[in-house]
Structures are given as C-alpha cells and as structure tokens.
Chains A and B, each alone.
Chain A
Amino acid sequence: MKMVQAIIRHEKLGEVKKALETQGILGLNVTEIQGRGRQKGQTRQWRGAVYDIDLLPKIKLETVVDDADAEKVINTILDVTSSGTIGDGKIFVWTVDEVIRVSSKERGKNAI
C-alpha cells in the first residue's frame, strides 16, 4: 500500500477531489498548511511598504491506496494540478506498513 501526499494550490482542491472520485478514490484527508519550496515566498504590501512572506498557504492532500493504484492517483493529480508554473506543489509517495479500519477491525487492503 502507498501513501500519496500531494501539496497543491488551494484553488485546485475541488478539481482534484472530483478527478480522484471518477477514478474510484474516495478516502482522503486534507490539511491547510504553510510552507515553501524553491519559490521561497512572495511579497505583500502594507501601508505603502512592501514586505516578504516566506511561507505560503497551501493544501496538503493525503490518500492511501493499493500499490497498483498509486501511479493512477499520481497521474490524476498531476493532470489537474500541473500548470507548468512555479508554485504548483509537490507529490510525495511512501510505503504504508499497515492500515486498520477501527469500526470493523479489518486490516490491510480491505481496510483502505
């Protein structure tokens, strides 16, 4: 099983959710985060002065899928979020040892 963790733009969340849904991926978690990558930050204005903000608000979307589905999920997210410009985000993938559904105590793939 794989954890796919995508850092995306706020405004892309709705599209990503819908695209994943059409691929049969329903379960996911979303967190509002602040962070930075190569882009580092942006400037803002206050009372005629310009200042830097070096952490930008982003959305962190996480979903755990069967190994076979991982590539499909990654490509679905990329299709929607990649605009070729700086600030599109990042995707991290890693292996998940175990998944347990609390209500039924099922384990493994069935619990996803």
Chain B
Amino acid sequence: MDNTTDEYGDRSPRPTAPLKGGINIRRTLAGLLAVIALFTLIPGIVSATGDPSGASTYTPDLDGAVLSIDYVWVLVCAFLVFFMQAGFALLEAGMCRVKNVANVLMKNMVDFVLGTIAFFILGYSLLMGPDIAGIIGDPTSAFMLMGDAYDVNTMLLWFFMLVFAATASTIVSGAIAERPKFKVYVIYSVIVSALIYPIYAHWVWGGGWLATSTFMTDLGGGYGALDFAGSGVVHALGGFIALAACILIGPRIGRYAKNGKPLPIPGHNLTLVVLGGFILWFGWFGFNPGSTLSAQELVISRIAVTTTLAGAAGGITAMFITWRKAGKPDVSMTVNGVIAGLVGITAGCAWVAPWAAMVIGIIAGFVVCYGIWFIEKKGVDDVVGAVSVHGLNGVWGLLALGLFADGTYGVYTTEGPLVTGLLYGNAGFFLVEVINVAVVVLWAFGLGYLMFYLLKKTVGLRVSEIEEREGLDISEHNTIAYPEMVIKDFNMGGNNR
C-alpha cells in the first residue's frame, strides 16, 4: 500500500520506517464523520428527550438519596471492572517474552479504545435497545447516546455494560500473543465489541430469547437462561473466540518439537503475572457484586464471599495439581487457577451457597489445569491459557449455576421466583443452562472462526517468520519494551528454536 506520498508532502518529514500496510487514516476518519453526519440528520435522534443532567431523575428526598447510593455503587464497581484491563495487560505481558511485550500491551489498549467507540456507535443499542423478535436490540435506539439515550440512567447502564464488553474482547489478545498481525487485532476488536458480544449478551441480559422466550421460561420454572455477572456472556464468549483464533493462527515457532511434543516457552516476568492476577481478582469485586446494579440488594456481601472462596479454591487446586505433576508448585498456573475459580463462580455468585462456591472453585482448578494440558497436546498454542481459564470455566460456571442454585435469591431481586438448580430439585433450569452453554459455544466459536477465517484469507493472520523471530515489538511497532535489556533467547536447551 503506497500511501506515504499522499500523506506526507515534500517538505514534511517522512517517517523513517516504511508504513507497511498502513491504514489510510484520513479516509477512515472522513468516512466515520460522514456516517455520523448522516445519522444526526435523522430527526428525533438529535432532539433530546432523556434527562442528560439528572435534574428530573434525582429527587431531594429519601428516594433520591437511595438512588444516589445505587449510582455510586454501580459506578465504583464499573471503575473496578475497568481496572481489570490493567490486570489482563500485566498478566499477558508477563507471560510473553521480552521481544513481544510492547505489542501485547498495545493490543490491550487498542481493544479498549476501539471497543469503546464501537460500543458507543452500535454495540450498546444491539445489547440493551428495545427487543426485536428476541434476537437483537433496536440497533439505532442508543446511537451515540443521542435522543432518548442522552440520559443519566441510560448512561449509567451504558458505562457498566461497556466495561463488561471490553473484558470479553480483551480475553483473546493473550491467547494469540506473540504472532498475530496488529491490524488483524484492530479489526477483531471492532467486530467483537460492535456485533458478536452485544448480540449474544442481548439474548441473556437484554431481554432476548434465551432469557425471556416462553419455551425457556417454562422449562426453567419461571425464568429462562441466567448468568449473574457473565461466566457465559463475558468469559465463555471470549474464551471460545480465542479457541477459534488459536486454531486458525497456529502455534508459535518453537512451541512444538518436530515429533509434536509441546515445549515450554517461559514468559519473561512472573512479577507481572502475579500482579496482573491480583488486579483481576480485585476487579472481580466490581464485576460480580456490581452486577446487582443496585446497592439495595444486600446479597452483595454474599457475592463478595462466594467470589473470593471460588478464587481461593481454584488457586489451591491448581497449585497442588502442578506440585504433584511437575515436582514443584507452579506460579503462573496457580494464578490461572485463581482466575479459573473466579470465572466459574461468576454466573452463580448470587445464587449459590459459600460451600458450593468452594466446590465450584475446586472443580475449576481441575478444569483449567487439565484443559490447558489437553489443548496444548492437541497442537493448539494458547499462550496464557485463556481458552481453559475463560472458555471451559465459563461453560463450567453456567453448568454450576444450573446445579448449585439453592433457591434463596430471585432474578436480581429478593422477590420470587427464586432461582433453584438441579441439586435443589429444579432439573428444568439445569437444562436451560445446558442449552445456554450450547448456544454460547456455537455462537462464539462459530462466529469467531468465520471472522478469523475471513481475516486469514484477506489480510492474513500472522506476521512473517522472520518478524516473529525478531519479535512483534519491532515488526508491529518498531519499538522495544526494554531498550536496555539484551534479548536472551540462547539459554533454552533442547528446544530446536
């Protein structure tokens, strides 16, 4: 693509590095502005009918005070969920080699910044807009938060939903670290946040068919598919897109010996991995308790407890499994175990008892360790274990909700119908969750596969072999994360890299 002469006149300094396959920024921006201009011409979208200042939403009485508490609760929790971006960035950076650190950090930034705009323009409307046939929300209903959506209540929910969408999309970057072209990830970020995530999330959280169709609510016993904070909506979705991406992009050079035996590629910094893990755990205290969307639901304390117990049980389990298998307790797998427990409890955190949370965490620890080793043996190179941590345990979380829900809390309210699982006599609800699992796996893996297949046939997924060996920091960003550190690739024995 020869666009250097278009963008830089003779007197302007030219970039020293060639703009390989760069995107024509001017044309893209002009197109975007044209679309925005077109939409603003449509009457009704520009005329504000919401409450953009909060003046008519707030009342100076007890109701107003309680509402303010709810606002603070939801916003603080959303800020915590936002901070999970930092957790993912650090964990993934630590799991990578020195030569790919800047690239993986950049991917973590771009999926949030681009995802935010995609969610602003289309994603949120598909998720929470007025339901159309149980399939999508009205795609123009909250376009750029104009018209009715120019409203403090809508924007509160918008912000909370945004940070969840961003969590789903950032799962993939660690799985396919150290080999994809950066522009592939740019395109992926927009598609996931604008389409793939919001449509499935609408089916569960936005009034779509999984949650509200008569068939599902009859089967479930008064309620359809449930997923309290998103084991399925966020984690299984991200995890199975990651699986499709890993399969299509192929393993890193040196990941497998010629006879197919997996060879470890140690990450460069376990400090970052553990710090990232703890930041994710901290963020989960916004993710799960915040999903009540109200501080008046005092189940928030129970959710904090179940969340912590599952994370702890997952970490312990992974620690003992690796201790037994390899001889010493493994640091990064223990972090994976913690995150796996947290993913596993996310769907049922408000509906299961503390003992069940511990059981969910223990099983999550088994699922993540053996999942990682199974996937690795099958020739699928998932750098951070995202497919097992988020995909398999997302599925486990939905099933665990269907099993362990103990009939003590309703659908985001203390009022009935109370949510009850198989072990407490409601087999129908377990079936609902099984259907939910099948749907999210097919949707995420299917669309993820289609998206990355098309990208593979058009832009190509991988950097060249030379670029991969040199590191993506240089090939994709022409920079070095640690300029004063010598890249030491030579101390790995026995690996024919």
Contacts and interface: CB of A to CB of B under 8 A. Distances in A.
A50 B326 contact: yes
Nearest to A40: B493
A95 interface: no
Helix, strand, loop or mixed for chain B's interface? loop
B493 A53 contact: yes
Contact of B262 (A49, A52, A54): A49
Q: Of residues B266, B373, B493, B495, which shows the largest number of chain A Cβ atoms within 10 Å of its Cβ?
A: B493
Interface in A26-63: 34, 41, 44-55
Contacts of B385: 47
A41 B326 contact: no
B493 A46 contact: no
B259 to A, nearest CB: 15
B328 interface: yes
B292 to A, nearest CB: 36
A47 B330 contact: yes
A44 B331 CA distance: 12
B324 to A, nearest CB: 10
A55 B491 contact: yes
B103 interface: no
Contacts of A54: 491, 493-494
A44 B327 CA distance: 10
B322 interface: yes
Helix, strand, loop or mixed for chain A's interface? strand
B325 interface: yes
A41 B493 contact: yes
Contacts of B495: 51
B493 to A, nearest CB: 3
Contacts of B488: 34
Contacts of A41: 493
B330 A52 contact: no
A12 B362 CA distance: 44
B481 interface: no
A48 B333 contact: yes
Given A45-B327, A46-B264, A46-B332, A51 B492 contact: yes
B296 to A, nearest CB: 43
B266 A44 contact: yes
B372 interface: yes
Interface in B480-497: 488, 490-495
Nearest to B266: A46
Contacts of A45: 322, 326-328, 330
Contacts of A52: 493-494
A50 B322 CA distance: 11
B450 interface: no
20 contacts: A41-B493, A44-B266, A45-B322, A45-B326, A45-B328, A46-B267, A46-B332, A47-B385, A48-B330, A48-B333, A51-B263, A51-B266, A51-B493, A51-B494, A51-B495, A53-B491, A53-B492, A54-B493, A54-B494, A55-B491
